[in-house]
Structure 1
Amino acid sequence: MKLISRKEFDRRVTSGELDNLQAVMVKEGFCLIASKADSPDEDVFMLRRTDKKPYIWNNELGPSSYARTRGCSSLTVFYRENLSVSSIQGLMHV
């Protein structure tokens, strides 16, 4: 999984290059990951902040609003409250 900037993430999501959006709730909050449907695991991207850390929301409203404003018709939400954002890399295609 690769952390990519908001600008790059937006471009890939709005163009349809990444069409499988997932919000994952971890200890720190909700992070947003995206991939192309039926793509290999190395083609998974996580939205990052300008300080190069994962972008985290306090509740599911943030990722939901992000997906809706970028034209995504569906957002899958996974709850992994007992895991840290740094430990979810292997859980993208559950």
Structure 2
Amino acid sequence: DEDAGTVLGYTTDKAAITYRGDAFDLAELLGVYEGKLEDVYHCNIEMPETLVNVIKCKNPRCITSCEQELDHVFCLTDREHKVYRCVYCETKA
């Protein structure tokens, strides 16, 4: 969610970007004006090579489980199958 302003070229009171599906191939931008949903915009987006603090590692033995100050970093290991893995323990996201 973002405050009032311009997001992806659209002016809104409040913008919420949600992701549909398994991950990152379609984004939905909700345009909210004066507290009321007015517009829904869809756009395709590229899968980033690295995700930082977007998802958390589910492996209880991962160093990110006990080291709170570490960023949760995932690298794209298989673009075709949309697979991200933790850079610390290689657990699949």
Taking structure 1 as the reference length, what is the TM-score of the superposition? 0.27
More contact order relative to length (CA 8 Å, sep ≥ 6) = 1
Would you tell me which structure has more strand in proportion to its own residues? 2
Would you tell me which structure has more helix in proportion to its own residues? 1
Larger Rg: 2
Taking structure 2 as the reference length, what is the TM-score of the superposition? 0.27
